[in-house]
Structure formats: structure tokens, C-alpha cells
């Protein structure tokens, strides 16, 4: 990006109307990918000058234990529901989870899920890192995920959405194929980087379960209805050129007992519709590249 | 610009947790739990709270506390409404449904409103210790001496007012320090309700039991924070019950639904009906075992 410029210079303006036709495998109109955030939050992380990790003095019991619910209970519940309806996961991974709770990571591997990096911990922020420090967390991510899963990470979602001006150039230099940090489109788009190439895949804040429940204050049923509306629209518009719908999740939110039932109904609806290509992030990037 | 090199060091990056408070364990890998009857233990926990009109903010101000300049008559009285009126609606509803519940009680409520705690005990309900009053908050900035004194004071005053030595403790806003679990254990408590990371009881390293009182299912979160209606809250409780009953049937292991309610929130005239209807519907379900917190802990401990 252009550090210090008013426009970060990450992409060209490409109007939604009149784009080339993207077709997904089997003639599907919308690629649907589910992105569970498998995270580890530290109970007593070091202070960062630009952001507090917890709202309360450590231990923030509710903040910490709410997130711990993912690993003890709700990951397994959420993952079963996804598998039951044929949705693979593309995991936004706090890579230290490979050390703390390798059982959770192994479960994703056994289900055929793809892993990309979401930083080391979701309580360690990238703001103010030197280039060497940022390279260290990228290299740590590549090494850690490779050792735990055999996979080479292809994507990046910045830890707790914290960036530096050089993040996107660096991940492209390391050979990563996609970023989940840009929210400017409903289709895969090219990102301008110094070396190599990088695509932005639509992730979503708006239909992220965290936004659904704690920004828009929806009930579980309202959130499920939101996912269906999002899907119906993108599936219809995808007739012109294939769209992408991401369902970004946190097990400690969507996997709560009052929300998981309505969520399963939304997945059932999308899977039964016939217009969805239920895919992993890397597959979506590959098919888009082949047509770009 | 760069960060302190220590920011990229991870001394606790190893198997299990980055603390020793409780061991790592995923629920589905534990032996199945069986309840005395039914497959879903429904634990209703009602908070009895007295908010002094003079908040001390030591160490922090409780959710629901005074919000305007002194004297905040609006919030003082609206909260005390829960003790004068709302709590009695809960007692009537529970009696009608034949349900025994837990009441997380500030010591000051027991001292100030003896008729209320007498009715709670006469109804067969459990009293859980819930600090001194709503100024009695805990976090790591409080200091060990003050925290020990606060917990001891709450328990002594509750005992003096009611003759009850509670088995359970609920911290205000579920907020603890790193030493709270040890202090509660030293005071002879069996369990706390503060950590929301599980859906069954589990043991802390020091022997204290945690009975998770899911804040996500509380009327405070769903109605006061998320601004949902009472009917939406009740629908969410039923959706949760349905899911847990299905999970219990699939896995053969008992499940638990904690329902945390607040008299000044759910005890209002236009909301309490939703709570009553929920009790009726759950009562009709064969999978439902309504139980006090101590009964759930006791059943679970008998199976360890």
C-alpha cells in the first residue's frame, strides 16, 4: 500500500456493472465459504502501546472464559453442524492453538479443512511492528501450521485485524495467495502489491457472527435469517458473474446452544438450494485465477 | 518503529492453558454425565441485588449501577423495584411451576429484606453468596487483603442474616482476580459460577468446582444489552433446550441449561409472563430436570 497516502492504493475502481463473467464449478452462481476463527486469547498478554487486549484487568474472566468455550465445547458442536451439511471450513487460525489445543486443530484437519493464519495469538497485535518482527510472525505462522497440519498457508487474516502498511506486500512476497482483510467487494479482486500477486477474497464483517450478535444485537433466529437473505441475493446476482459469500464464525458465539439450531437451519437451506458451490478459500482463489 | 522484542516472545506457548487455574478438557471427551432424572438439568439462578445510591467504584462499577450524578433516584429505585416487587413475581412463578431455583444474594439484601430471603428459603430455594452489595466488586486491582475481607464479610453477614452457609459463590459481573478461586476455597465454598467456558460443572486445580452460569443466556445480555424482547429471550431459551436435549439423546450424556434472571429486568409486569410461559413449556418436557445449582454440583461430584 502507499503508506501515508489518503488512498492506500490497494486496487483499481472496478464497477460492479459490466464485469467479466465468473462461473463456479458445476455452473454454481455463488461460492460459499465458511470461515471459523479458531483462536487462542491469552489470559495475561503483554501490553501493546496501541491497543488493550482486555476491557478488564487480567484475568478478564468473562472475556477469557467466553472464548475458551470455543475450544472446550462449541468448536465441536459447530464443526459437526458444518460437516453434516457438507460445508468445509477455511480456518482463520491463531497459530499458537497448534501448541495449546492441538486436538482442535487436528479435528479441522480430519474434516478436510484449510488453514490460514490469523497471527500467533489474538491478543498480540501487529501495529508498530518492525519489518523484521512482521516477517517473524509470518514465518512462525508458515512453520507452525506446516508442522501441525502438513499444509502451507495460502491466506492471511491479520491478528485481531491489526495491520502495518507493509503487511499485504509481505504476505505476497512469502507466496500467500489471498487476504481476508479487505471488504470492498462481493467478488474476488486483484490486490496491488510490490512483488508477486495477491487476491482479496470477500470475508465479511457485516454477516460475521460477532457483528450479528454484538453490533446488530440479533437473536440466533434473526442472524440465521440474515444469512439466508445474504445468500439469496448473492446467488441471484451470481447469474451475471459468480459472487462469493463468506460466513465468518466464532464457535463461542455461533456454537452457543440457543444459536446453533437456527444456524443449522440456515446451512440446510443454503446446501439444499443448488446454487451454492460450498468450497474452501483456496479453491475459490484457484478457480477465479483460472478465469481471470 | 518497532515493538519491544519481548512482545514476540511466548513463554507459555505449550500444551494446555497459559495458566494453571484449571486443566484443559473438551466436554465431548469426558465420560457422560447422568442426572437423577431427565437429560437436561435446567438451573434457574435469580440475582438479588442491592445497589447503594453511593457507588464506590472500588475496583469498578457493577453493570446496572448508578448512571447519573448524585442522587440517582431513577436507578436506585428502579433496581430496588426488583427486590420489592419483581423477586416476588419470580417466587410466585417458581412456586406455581413447582420449581426449585438458586438465588444469588447480596448479603445486604439478606440484612435489609428479611421477608424476601425467608420466602426464598421457605420456597425450597438455594441461596448462593453474591458479595456484600453491588459495590462489592472484585478484580486484580483490589489487593489480597481487601479481597479476602470482602469475601469473608459477605459470607459472615449472609450467615448472620439467614443462618445459611452457602455452597456457591457468584461474583458481581462474574469478575475475579487471579486469587479468587483460592480465597473461595479457603472460605469453605464448594463452587463458583463465574467462568463461562463450559456447559457442565468442572473442577479447578485447587478443588473448587465451577458451575458455568452462561452469561450469553442471561436476561441481562439478551434484554438489557442486546435489547431483545422478553419473548425473544424465552424463544432463545427454548431453542437452547431443544438443542441440548437433542445433543443429550445423540451422545448419551446429560446437558445443562443455566437460566440467569434478574428481578428488575425480567420481573417487570410486561416481561414476567414470558418467564412463566417458559417454565410451563419446559415443565412439560420429559428431558427436563429443574435443579438448584448445589443439586447439579452434587450429582456431578457423585459421578467423578
CB-neighbour burial class of residue A37 (10 A; exposed 0-12, middle 13-18, buried 19+): buried
Chain B partners of A58 at a C-beta cutoff of 8 Å? 140, 178
**pLDDT digit string, tens, across residues A95-131:** 999 999 999 999 999 999 999 999 999 999 999 999 9
Instruction: Please report whether residue A12 resides in a domain.
Output: no
Helical axes A102-110 vs A131-149, angle rounded to 10° = 60
Find which of B4, B192, B202, B239 to mutate to test the A interface (most A CBs within 10 Å of its CB): B239
The domain that holds A157 is classified in CATH as 3.20.20.370
Residue range(s) defining the domain that contains residue A222: 25-291
Cite the beta strand spans of chain A per DSSP E. Answer: 30-38, 90-93, 114-117, 155-156, 178-179, 189-191, 198-200, 243-249, 276-278
* A39 Cβ under 8 Å from any chain B Cβ: no
As given in the structure block, the three cell numbers for residue B122 are 421457605
CA angle B47, B301, A78 (to 5 degrees): 70
Mean pLDDT across A203-223: 97
Mean pLDDT across B191-197: 98
Q: What dihedral do alpha carbons B218, B219, B225, B227 form, nearest 10°? A: 140
Q: What is the mean pLDDT of chain B?
A: 98
If you search the block for the grid coordinates 457472527, which residue do you land on? Answer: A209
Q: Which of A283, A259, A280, A240 is nearest to A36 (CA)?
A: A280
B1 has pLDDT over 80: no
Taking a C-beta distance cutoff of 8 angstroms, is the pair B250, B36 a contact?
Answer: no
The total of structural domains in chain A comes to 1
Find which of A50, A63, A65 to mutate to test the B interface (most B CBs within 10 Å of its CB): A65
Q: Which of A145, A36, A160, A38 is nearest to A90 (CA)?
A: A36
The pLDDT assigned to A50 comes to: 97
Helical axes A260-273 vs B230-251, angle rounded to 10° = 80
H/E element holding B258?
strand B255-261
Contact state of B216 with A214 under an 8 Å Cβ cutoff: no
* A72 Cβ under 8 Å from any chain B Cβ: yes
A232 has pLDDT over 80: yes
Instruction: Please report whether residue A2 resides in a domain.
Output: no
Query: Does the interface predicted TM-score (ipTM) exceed 0.95?
Result: yes
Instruction: Please report whether residue A9 resides in a domain.
Output: no
The pLDDT assigned to B71 comes to: 98
Q: Which of B18, B177, B198 sits opposite A72 (nearest CB)?
A: B198
Q: What is the percent of chain A where pLDDT is above 90?
A: 99
Q: Which of B23, B296, B33 is nearest to B167 (CA)?
A: B296
A237 has pLDDT over 80: yes
Q: What dihedral do alpha carbons B118, B123, B124, B130 form, nearest 10°? A: -50
Mean pLDDT across B63-70: 98
* A263 Cβ under 8 Å from any chain B Cβ: no
Residues paired with A36 in a beta bridge = A249
Instruction: Please report whether residue A246 resides in a domain.
Output: yes
Going by pLDDT thresholds of 50, 70 and 90, the confidence category of residue A138 is very high
The pLDDT assigned to B85 comes to: 98
A234 has pLDDT over 80: yes
As given in the structure block, the three cell numbers for residue B128 are 448462593
Find which of B4, B16, B19, B26 to mutate to test the A interface (most A CBs within 10 Å of its CB): B26
**pLDDT digit string, tens, across residues B151-160:** 999 999 999 9
If you search the block for the grid coordinates 491466506, which residue do you land on? Answer: A155
Going by pLDDT thresholds of 50, 70 and 90, the confidence category of residue B120 is very high
The pLDDT assigned to B144 comes to: 97
Mean pLDDT across B253-276: 98
Taking a C-beta distance cutoff of 8 angstroms, is the pair B298, B102 a contact?
Answer: no
Going by pLDDT thresholds of 50, 70 and 90, the confidence category of residue B149 is very high
Q: What is the percent of chain B where pLDDT is above 90?
A: 99
The structural domains of chain B, ordered by start, are 33-301 (3.20.20.370)
Mean pLDDT across A212-241: 98
Q: Which of A49, A56, A103 sits opposite B26 (nearest CB)?
A: A103
A292 has pLDDT over 90: no
A 10 A CB-CB count for B71 gives 11
* Residue A48 DSSP code: B
* B197 Cβ under 8 Å from any chain A Cβ: yes
Residue-wise over B211-249: b if at least 16 C-beta within 10 A, else e? bbbbbbbbbbbbbbebebebebbbbbbbbbbbbbbbbbe
* A221 Cβ under 8 Å from any chain B Cβ: yes
Contact state of A57 with B244 under an 8 Å Cβ cutoff: no
**A231 phi and psi angles, rounded to 5 deg:** -65, -50
CA distances from A49 to A71, A135, B7 (A): 29, 20, 11
Instruction: Please report whether residue A13 resides in a domain.
Output: no
Contact state of A61 with B175 under an 8 Å Cβ cutoff: yes
Contact state of B8 with A217 under an 8 Å Cβ cutoff: no
The pLDDT assigned to B148 comes to: 98
Contact state of B16 with A120 under an 8 Å Cβ cutoff: no
The pLDDT assigned to B193 comes to: 98
Q: Which of B218, B211, B219, B130 is nearest to B175 (CA)?
A: B130
Residue B148 CA to residue B153 CA, distance in Å, equals: 8
Residue B215 CA to residue A223 CA, distance in Å, equals: 19
Amino acid at each position: 500500500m502507499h503508506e501515508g497516502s489518503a488512498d492506500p492504493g490497494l486496487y483499481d475502481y472496478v464497477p460492479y456493472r459490466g464485469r467479466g463473467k465468473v462461473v463456479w464449478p458445476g455452473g454454481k452462481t455463488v461460492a460459499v465459504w465458511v470461515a471459523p476463527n479458531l483462536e487462542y486469547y491469552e489470559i495475561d498478554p503483554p501490553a501493546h502501546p496501541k491497543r488493550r487486549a482486555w476491557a478488564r484487568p487480567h484475568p478478564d474472566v468473562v472475556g477469557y472464559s467466553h472464548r475458551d468455550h470455543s475450544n472446550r465445547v462449541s468448536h465441536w458442536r459447530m464443526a459437526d453442524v458444518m460437516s453434516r451439511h457438507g460445508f468445509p471450513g477455511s480456518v482463520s487460525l491463531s497459530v499458537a492453538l497448534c501448541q495449546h489445543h492441538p486436538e482442535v486443530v487436528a479435528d479441522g484437519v480430519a474434516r478436510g479443512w484449510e488453514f490460514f493464519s490469523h497471527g500467533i495469538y489474538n491478543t498480540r497485535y501487529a501495529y508498530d511492528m518492525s519489518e523484521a518482527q512482521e516477517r517473524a510472525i509470518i514465518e512462525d505462522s508458515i512453520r507452525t501450521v506446516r508442522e501441525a497440519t502438513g499444509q502451507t498457508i495460502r491466506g492471511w487474516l491479520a491478528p485481531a485485524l491489526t495491520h502495518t502498511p507493509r503487511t499485504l506486500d509481505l504476505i505476497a512476497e512469502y507466496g500467500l495467495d489471498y487476504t481476508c482483510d479487505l471488504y470492498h467487494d462481493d467478488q474476488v479482486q486483484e490486490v496491488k502489491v510490490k512483488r508477486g500477486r495477491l487476491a482479496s477474497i470477500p470475508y465479511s464483517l457485516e454477516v460475521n457472527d460477532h457483528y450479528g450478535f454484538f453490533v446488530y444485537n440479533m437473536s440466533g433466529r434473526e442472524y440465521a435469517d440474515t444469512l439466508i437473505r445474504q445468500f439469496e441475493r448473492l446467488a441471484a446476482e451470481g447469474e451475471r458473474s459468480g459472487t462469493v459469500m463468506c460466513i465468518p464464525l466464532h464457535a463461542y458465539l455461533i456454537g452457543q446452544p440457543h444459536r446453533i439450531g437456527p444456524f443449522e437451519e440456515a446451512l440446510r437451506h443454503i446446501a439444499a438450494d443448488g446454487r451454492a458451490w460450498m468450497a474452501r478459500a483456496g479453491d475459490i482463489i484457484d478457480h477465479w485465477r483460472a478465469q481471470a | 518503529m518497532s515493538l519491544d522484542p519481548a512482545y514476540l516472545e511466548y513463554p507459555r506457548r505449550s500444551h494446555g492453558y497459559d495458566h494453571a487455574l484449571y486443566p484443559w478438557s473438551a466436554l465431548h471427551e469426558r465420560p457422560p454425565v447422568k442426572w437423577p432424572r431427565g437429560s437436561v438439568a435446567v438451573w434457574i439462578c435469580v440475582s438479588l441485588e442491592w445497589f447503594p445510591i453511593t457507588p464506590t467504584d472500588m475496583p469498578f462499577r457493577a453493570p446496572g449501577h448508578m448512571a447519573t450524578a448524585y442522587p440517582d433516584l431513577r436507578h436506585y429505585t428502579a433496581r430496588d423495584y426488583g427486590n420489592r416487587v419483581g423477586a416476588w413475581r419470580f417466587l410466585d412463578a417458581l412456586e406455581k411451576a413447582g420449581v426449585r431455583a438458586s438465588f444469588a444474594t447480596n448479603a445486604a439484601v439478606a440484612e435489609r429484606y428479611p421477608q424476601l430471603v425467608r420466602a426464598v428459603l421457605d420456597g425450597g430455594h438455594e441461596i448462593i453468596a453474591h458479595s456484600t452489595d453491588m459495590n462489592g466488586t472484585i478484580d486484580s486491582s483490589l489487593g489480597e487483603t481487601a479481597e479476602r475481607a470482602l469475601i469473608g464479610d459477605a459470607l459472615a453477614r449472609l450467615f448472620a442474616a439467614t443462618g445459611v452457609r452457602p455452597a456457591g459463590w457468584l461474583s458481581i459481573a462474574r469478575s475475579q482476580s487471579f486469587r479468587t478461586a483460592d480465597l473461595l476455597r479457603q472460605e469453605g465454598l464448594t463452587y463458583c459460577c463465574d467462568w463461562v467456558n463450559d456447559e457442565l460443572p468442572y473442577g479447578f486445580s485447587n478443588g473448587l468446582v465451577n458451575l458455568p452460569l452462561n452469561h450469553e443466556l442471561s436476561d441481562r445480555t439478551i434484554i438489557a444489552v442486546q435489547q431483545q424482547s422478553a419473548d425473544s429471550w424465552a424463544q432463545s431459551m427454548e431453542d437452547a433446550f431443544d438443542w441440548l436435549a437433542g445433543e443429550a439423546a445423540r451422545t448419551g450424556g446429560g446437558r445443562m441449561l443455566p437460566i440467569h434472571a434478574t428481578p428488575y429486568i425480567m420481573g417487570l409486569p410486561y416481561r414476567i409472563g414470558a418467564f412463566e410461559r417458559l417454565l410451563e413449556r419446559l415443565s412439560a418436557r420429559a428431558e427436563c430436570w429443574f435443579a438448584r445449582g448445589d443439586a447439579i454440583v452434587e450429582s456431578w461430584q457423585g459421578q467423578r
